[in-house]
Amino acid sequence: MPQPFHLAIPVNDLEAAAAFYGELLGCERGRSDTRWIDWNFYGHQLVTHCVDEMPSAPQHNAVDSHAVPVPHFGVVLDMEDWQELADKLQAAGTAFVIEPYVRFKGQPGEQATMFFHDPAGNALEFKAFKSLSQLFAV
């Protein structure tokens, strides 16, 4: 099993971050203070740090004819969990940057993917592969 990573991201409203990461995505809340919250982000440590001003909005790169926001972060789920999350986000009325779909169909690295923003504007990508062996396929 890979080692967990640690990622700290800026947010401008901790209550909105708590609703998004804790309630919508279902991440377990860890340690916190008045300006930050630790989250169990699918086995990794994500820290939402409250800032007075958010950094500039993401840029975009073309990937499979879609404008992918850069920077972004997320996780690779198994296909069943990815579909369950996609259904949950759609039912919640999530505004997707890129709607859930399968990209690179029939090619090495074929994957289900979706992009959306948290309330602070941080871009997230969740993806899944039929076979995890395709994660680094060329």
Tell me the sheet residues that pair with 37: 32, 48
Cis peptide leading into 10, omega within 30 of 0?
no
The string of pLDDT tens digits covering residues 8-24 is: 999 999 999 999 999 99
| CATH class name, domain 6-50 | alpha beta
Domain ranges for the chain, please list them: 6-50, 59-134
Q: How confident is the model at residue 1 (pLDDT cuts 50, 70, 90)?
A: low
d(CA 24, CA 92): 8
59-134 sits in which CATH class?
Answer: alpha beta
DSSP 42-99: TTEEEEEEE-SSPPPPPEEEEETTEEEEES-EEEEE-HHHHHHHHHHHHHTT--EEEE
pTM here?
0.93
Retrieve residue 110's tokens: 């074929």
> Does this chain's domain 6-50 share its CATH topology with 59-134?
no
pLDDT in tens, 109-136: 999 999 999 999 999 999 999 888 889 9
